[in-house]
Amino acid sequence: MSGQGQGFINEVKDAVTGRAALLVIAVLALQLGFVVSYVGALHQPEPHRLSIGVVAPAPAQQQLVTALGQVPGDAVRSAPVADQDAAVGQIRDQRLYATLVVDPGGTQDTLLIAGARGKAAAAAALTIVTGVEQTQGRTVRTQDVAPLAPGDANGLSAFYLVVGWCVGGYLVAAILGISAGSRPANWNRALIRIAVLALYSIAAGLGGVLIAGPILNALPGSVVGLWGVGALVVFAVGTVTMALECLFDVVGIGLAVLLFVVLGNPSAGGVFPPPLLPTFWRAIGAWLPNGAGTGAARSIAYLGATRLAMPLLVLAVWSVIGVAVSLAAVHSRSRGGRLMATPAEQARPTR
């Protein structure tokens, strides 16, 4: 029995190497992180500084602005607005999520909302405003000034389109790394791999837009504009994944999943917009490709392409970082620096 037991232990050691065991533990941590991130971000949405404007005669306007600002939990960021036209402009310019327009001749007021910025935000604004209005014996109705397209019933098409682009970006980079080595052998091969990523990004961006737009009629807006955003999202995610592989070999793929799936998706503002997310996810969302891409796609589709500069800059910065880190890793390797090929890479055929 002792010999058999020792033999079994040796079989286990041969079947599951120390490196494999560490990777399994890392996968378990990644899985648990996925649960923590998604459940933590989405299980209990509560408004935080949800921007709501007020259009009303002077005395009533300040009273309502104050009343909204005193909603518990710092739920509302209220502001006076000159008139209804200005309110519509600020909503479409993404400065406000909603605006209460008071009818001085009656008891029913109007809440201007933007379905395109998320049904959850509109519902939260209506709940808050209804509570304030009831204390004053008034009622409120809604008017959607930036409605969703008929084929985008829940307003999630832009988010899922960006999720698809992100998946393509890190998967193609992972495939290139697995098939040809995590770190390219030299600058030429690194540049070739980056060029492949760029071509793939152009194709993936166009394919996603055509499916979501003309084919399924799920998302309106400029095909060219959305194509550009899609290509940037795929390229940014792909080059960053490539950089992580260059630095950490196969572990870099897991880090890319952590960054773009575990952290990026729940914080992107797809299911709930930023004011309804907990602090951590609200803080990181706009700075990751998922959130930047979702915001840019929604802006092009519904909001007249307003406030595009920041999300496009975020995507461009991620792309530059990915390319720069990848080239620096290859340069260090070619000069005999610390970032040398791993044994697993050395065993792979050079391409």
Structure tokens at 88: 């519509």
Quick one: pLDDT at residue 10? 64
Rounded distance between C-alpha atoms, residue 297 and residue 164, angstroms: 13
Quick one: pLDDT at residue 22? 84
Quick one: pLDDT at residue 26? 87
SS3 category, 250:
coil
Domains, the chain, in order of start with CATH, read 50-144 (3.40.1710.10), 157-347 (no CATH)
Give which of 2, 330, 51, 338 is closest to 191, Cα–Cα. 330
Quick one: pLDDT at residue 1? 47
Quick one: pLDDT at residue 31? 92
Q: What is the dihedral of CA 165, 169, 175, 181, to 10 degrees?
A: 180
Structure tokens at 315: 């995507």
Rounded distance between C-alpha atoms, residue 182 and residue 27, angstroms: 19
195 Cβ contact list (under 8 Å, min separation 6) = none
Quick one: pLDDT at residue 15? 64
For 304, phi and psi rounded to 5 degrees?
A: 65, 25
For 213, counting Cβ atoms within 10 Å of its Cβ (0-12 exposed, 13-18 middle, 19+ buried), the class is: buried
SS3 category, 101:
strand
DSSP 36-48: HHHHHHHSS---S
In order along its 351 residues, the chain shows pLDDT tens digits of 455 556 666 666 666 677 778 888 988 999 999 999 999 999 999 999 999 999 999 888 999 999 999 999 999 999 999 999 999 999 999 999 999 999 999 999 999 999 999 999 999 999 999 999 999 899 999 999 999 999 999 999 999 999 999 999 999 999 999 887 778 878 888 999 999 999 999 999 999 999 999 999 999 999 999 999 999 999 999 999 999 999 999 889 999 999 999 999 999 999 999 999 999 999 999 999 999 999 999 999 999 999 999 999 999 999 999 999 999 998 876 555 444 344 444 444 444
264 Cβ contact list (under 8 Å, min separation 6) = 166, 288, 289, 290, 291
- Across 56-136, the runs of DSSP E, i.e. the strands, are 76-80, 98-101, 108-113
* Cα dihedral sign, 22-238-287-158: negative
Crossing angle, helix 223-248 and helix 187-210, to 10 degrees? 140
For 132, phi and psi rounded to 5 degrees?
A: -70, -40
Quick one: pLDDT at residue 284? 97
Structure tokens at 29: 């941590």
Rounded to two decimals, the pTM is: 0.89
184 Cβ contact list (under 8 Å, min separation 6) = 190, 192, 193, 246, 326, 330
SS3 category, 299:
helix
- Across 90-194, the runs of DSSP E, i.e. the strands, are 98-101, 108-113, 139-144
Quick one: pLDDT at residue 250? 87
The number of helix segments (H) and strand segments (E) in the chain equals 13, 5
The residues with which 51 forms a beta bridge, in sequence order, are 77
Quick one: pLDDT at residue 174? 94
Rounded distance between C-alpha atoms, residue 262 and residue 163, angstroms: 12
